[in-house]
Chains A and B, each alone.
Chain A
């Protein structure tokens, strides 16, 4: 294995020529031999199911009555799009996405700046601490937040009883505003560390000299931040926001654990789950799954085309470096 790689790596510069030598062919074969299994496993576990889901979504198909399966073309989608409930659920999902990502961006920046500026001796401690929410199971985080606010066992009502509107009778999970707040709080708590670490890596790439130069030129701290630091880490910010937005749009665990969709907190993933797994309405559930998939795809395309987020930027730059170095 290494023998071939060994020989061919010397050859790679020459391989830019259009004519393919035997060695290049061998390299291509080895490349796909090594990378192929991972590639095909990935395709098999996602591309096939989504194709199947798209197919299923065109049928009226209930697992409890498999014989009554009939082709209905786009009726499932029509049913969804003409149902006010779907749009409410869609709105809730979008609301969660926008609010959590916005808050996480601000909080994440604060955390990143703290870690960036912190003394060396403190960095390890800070990093260790914020990795706990990152690594913890989402369901555990959901239960932790649920019990804090729970009307029976929670202490929040007691602690915050001085706040107008909060008293021991407040059931946070019985109405939309309060329930969605706790759901979003747990989501924000769990995922801010991820954004913070990405931003920290972005901060590290801003040249110190630039900030120093701005300081010498009389820029205030705020100006240094808004005019020098942020523009220079735009790529890191955009990647972090996009990744988190795509992730937030798929939110499921917290909602399932905390409210199960009650108090109008149902989200798209939960709708798909309820249709397919609980009600065994494979046709309708598949339609929801496909809609969810298309939404995520659209967000991605929009970000990449509209905001010029180069998701593969890192790869490009380092592969460029690598090619250049050879």
Chain B
């Protein structure tokens, strides 16, 4: 749609204003919490946007200070649990999507339908029975106790997105390579894997976002630093004293856990968009 026609001065101005508005929309709340994380305790009581004096106190507090036990352990939990849940989901979904895209077998519909059903499932409905069961069998407040339910978040989207990606792969290439003298494995490795890898990678990013975002499981199925992930830990921050709100520390921790999201978005925005829309609209 973007025409190659030269833009008039007014159109240019219009686009500049529009772009700035979109940027403001998207980044303003992030900028606000970013500013908060650098405010001194006194500044946090002032109704201003930017800090009057910039300080690193809150970052010190969460990394080396009084909140480090709470924050660092939750960061470790979040990274570990999220990466494992993402990895397991992507491996299972890759096998599943390969079968759906390439093989003819009854039940394909059922599997895709189940993935859809699971993705609209209210997480809170799963939590109550899991809470009870995990306490009985000793999975409560463990990594595994979160990784298993996280699969209900990461698997459906992985199956959908990967099925969509795999359908677009020209699988004939594999045969063509074999005709040209490649062995079966060579054909798969040289022709198919390079085409499939971006889809798998994009799916992993989307699954990571979803698991990284979880709060309901995190707050319901953990009780200590043994497994509590960052979003849940943020709700447990305490101020330096009874009369102090933990605003600065929470803001600093929030910024730290937003960094991976921003990096992934900056590096892979094109892929993320195509992955998101393929799974949902184009199929």
Nearest A residue (CB) for B105: A31
Is A222 engaged at the interface, CB distance under 8 Å to the other chain? no
* Chain A: interface size category: 35 or more
Q: A42-B156, A256-B235 are in contact. Are A56 and B129 (CB under 8 A)?
A: yes
Contact digits for B250-271, partner A, Cβ 8 Å, 1 yes 0 no: 1100100110011011100110
- B283–chain A nearest beta-carbon distance, Å: 2
- B136–chain A nearest beta-carbon distance, Å: 10
Is B56 engaged at the interface, CB distance under 8 Å to the other chain? no
Q: A5-B102, A201-B281 are in contact. Are A31 and B95 (CB under 8 A)?
A: no
Is A181 engaged at the interface, CB distance under 8 Å to the other chain? no
Nearest B residue (CB) for A271: B124
* Chain B: interface size category: 35 or more
Is B116 engaged at the interface, CB distance under 8 Å to the other chain? yes
Q: A34-B96, A46-B118, A136-B258 are in contact. Are A286 and B103 (CB under 8 A)?
A: no
Note all chain B residues with C-beta closer than 8 A to A253: 215-216, 231
Give the interface of B toward A (CB within 8 A): 1-2, 7, 15, 18-19, 22-23, 25-27, 29-30, 32-33, 36, 39, 44-45, 47-49, 92-93, 95-96, 98-118, 120-133, 135, 148-149, 151-152, 155-156, 159, 163-164, 167, 171, 174-175, 184-185, 188, 209, 212-213, 215-216, 219-220, 230-231, 234-235, 245, 247, 250-251, 254, 257-258, 261-262, 264-266, 269-270, 272-273, 276-278, 280-283
Q: A35-B99, A319-B167 are in contact. Are A277 and B261 (CB under 8 A)?
A: no
Q: Would you call A313 and B19 a contact (CB within 8 A)?
A: no
- A284–chain B nearest beta-carbon distance, Å: 10
Is A70 engaged at the interface, CB distance under 8 Å to the other chain? no
Q: Would you call A312 and B95 a contact (CB within 8 A)?
A: no
Interface residues of A in 137-180 (CB under 8 A from B): 137-141, 143-145, 147-148, 150, 152-155, 157-159, 168
Q: Would you call A318 and B167 a contact (CB within 8 A)?
A: yes
Task: Choose among B22, B114, B120, B128 the residue with the greatest number of A CB atoms under 10 Å from its CB.
Answer: B128
Note all chain A residues with C-beta closer than 8 A to B258: 136-137, 140
- A90–chain B nearest beta-carbon distance, Å: 14
Complex Cα gap A246–B156 (Å): 15
Q: Would you call A128 and B265 a contact (CB within 8 A)?
A: yes
Give the interface of A toward B (CB within 8 A): 2-3, 5-6, 8-9, 12, 15, 24, 27-28, 30-35, 37-39, 41-43, 45-46, 48-50, 52-53, 56, 63, 111, 114, 116-120, 122-141, 143-145, 147-148, 150, 152-155, 157-159, 168, 186, 189, 193-194, 197-198, 200-202, 205, 208, 235-236, 239-240, 243, 246, 249-250, 252-253, 256-257, 268-269, 272-273, 276-277, 282, 285-286, 289-290, 292-293, 296, 300, 311-319, 322
